[in-house]
Amino acid sequence: MLTVENLPNLQGKKVYVRVDFNVPHKGAVISDDNRIRAAIPTIAALLKKGARVVLMSHLGKVDWKKFKKGEKTKEEIDAQMEKNNLEIAVEPLKAHISAAMGREVAVSFCPENRGPALKAAVEALRDGEILLAQNTRYQAGEEKNDPELAAEWASLVDVFVMDAFGSAHRAHASTVGVPSILKEQGKLVALGYLMIKEVENLSRCVEVKPEDRPYVAILGGLKVSDKIKVIDSLLKKCDYIIIGGAMAYTFKKALGESIGSSYCEEASLDYAKKCLEEAKGRIILPVDSVITDSFEPVEGRKIEVVSAIPEGFEGVDIGPKSAEKFADIISKAKMIFWNGPMGVFEQEEFQAGTKAVCVAIKNLEGKAFTVCGGGDSASAVKQFGYKDSFSHVSTGGGASLEMIENDGHLPGVDILR
């Protein structure tokens, strides 16, 4: 695959760079601009080659699906996309891009992402300048990979660079439509640095080498149904799959254990049974749980540690015996893939299980290849200060899971091959 590194001189060339600047924010205030900083090496390399960079990203959600279902009117959608709706307008990103470039680079913003205004803004760019276009999702055709929209975007530029790993599992107009058209026209399409790092690290978790065994996957979080395909795939690749978080209770119920009123997906019980049979002891479940009689942090709520959960209580974290058992398996691993917290880590009382997994992985430093597959587990790893203890922390939760599920294939990567 062509990468940003081996692109030729780009003087006079307009480059469409799909970035993932879907940053956490409230209005115009961005609380964490890591995603912007992570794309800077790619942008800087392109500018160094003389390119005129057009940055395209999504931010938040426009309710197109509700519009399609008739739950929202076109007027409501238009109102959502008013320039002053700073929950989805990307203009506040501009200041962060300028600051992150760390030198005098001209960054402009176009409040449109289609039509004559965008065309004029792209044409006005000079070598070494950056244009940030409006949120890609302002166009209903983005998520449908509308050929007309993709053709319009492709007509504006000479080169495409993909650096939005968090969106690479989605075949949208900006991730797949544009590069497929440019490729057909014999134009250059390439991977950015962020993508190279993600693809390299996650590919190692897909094509398992003998020296990477024992390979242990750790899954947590809420929904089994979200992770069904990944469990199937991991069962073929891993030596052990540790399951914590709310997900574990669907498996425990499938074994006939009492789970009180813990979160459970009745529709996934048969699947869980099938997995447990196929795994032949390789799926490791918690042996105790932290339970509460109130998920909401009300005063006087009961919090206990038990092995069998009574009615009226729900499991909200793995217990200390489970943490010890999981840590023991982790300590023998040569490769780890982790996605999903062990408990409700947003509440201090239920963080211990997720922290215990962080510590166990930190203890592997220098001895194993360890990957945190994005999403909430990546937030937890950062929040608890363990980011640097991992070989790789992915920027895309959904994308990293799909990459494992699909044996290393993602629409936004395959199109660049």
Task: Determine contact, residues 199/172, Cβ cutoff 8 Å.
Answer: no
Report the residue from 81, 222, 235, 276 that binds ligand AMP according to the rule CB under 6 A: 222
Which is nearer to ligand AMP, 91 or 349 (by Cβ)?
Answer: 349
Report the residue from 179, 245, 319, 373 that binds ligand AMP according to the rule CB under 6 A: 245
- Distance CA(25)–CA(81), nearest Å, equals 17
Q: Going edge to edge, which strands form the sheet with 52-56?
A: 107-110, 130-133, 52-56, 14-18, 159-162, 188-191
Write the CB contacts of 154 (distance below 8 Å, at least 6 apart in sequence): 16, 160, 177, 178, 181, 182, 185
Residues marked active site are found at 35, 223, 375, 398
Binding track, positions 300-329, relative to ligand AMP; x by CB under 6 A:
---------------xx-------------
Write the CB contacts of 363 (distance below 8 Å, at least 6 apart in sequence): 327, 330, 331
Rg of the chain in Å (alpha carbons):
23
Which is nearer to ligand AMP, 101 or 269 (by Cβ)?
Answer: 269
Minimum CB separation from ligand AMP for residue 287, in Å? 15
Report the residue from 263, 369, 386, 390 that binds ligand AMP according to the rule CB under 6 A: 263
Which is nearer to ligand AMP, 221 or 319 (by Cβ)?
Answer: 221
Is 344 a binder of ligand AMP (CB under 6 A)?
yes
Query: What phi and psi, each to the nearest 5 degrees, are found at residue 107?
Result: -120, 125
Which is nearer to ligand AMP, 340 or 411 (by Cβ)?
Answer: 340
Is 223 a binder of ligand AMP (CB under 6 A)?
yes
Is 164 a binder of ligand AMP (CB under 6 A)?
no
Candidate ranges 148-156, 279-287, 305-313, 336-344; the one touching ligand AMP (CB under 6 A): 336-344
Antiparallel, parallel or unpaired: β 314-318 and 289-292 = antiparallel
Secondary structure of residue 316 in the 3-state scheme: strand
Candidate ranges 25-33, 47-55, 77-85, 221-229; the one touching ligand AMP (CB under 6 A): 221-229
CA angle, residues 373, 343, 34, in degrees to nearest 5:
40
- Distance CA(240)–CA(232), nearest Å, equals 12
In Å, how far are 4, 30, 194, 220 from 217, measured between CA atoms? 32, 33, 23, 10
Write the CB contacts of 122 (distance below 8 Å, at least 6 apart in sequence): 14, 52, 54, 131, 156, 157
Is 375 a binder of ligand AMP (CB under 6 A)?
yes
Report the residue from 346, 365, 388, 407 that binds ligand AMP according to the rule CB under 6 A: 346
Is 396 a binder of ligand AMP (CB under 6 A)?
no
Minimum CB separation from ligand AMP for residue 156, in Å? 36
Is 221 a binder of ligand AMP (CB under 6 A)?
yes
Residues in touch with ligand AMP (CB under 6 A): 220-223, 226, 245-246, 263, 315-316, 340-341, 343-346, 375-376
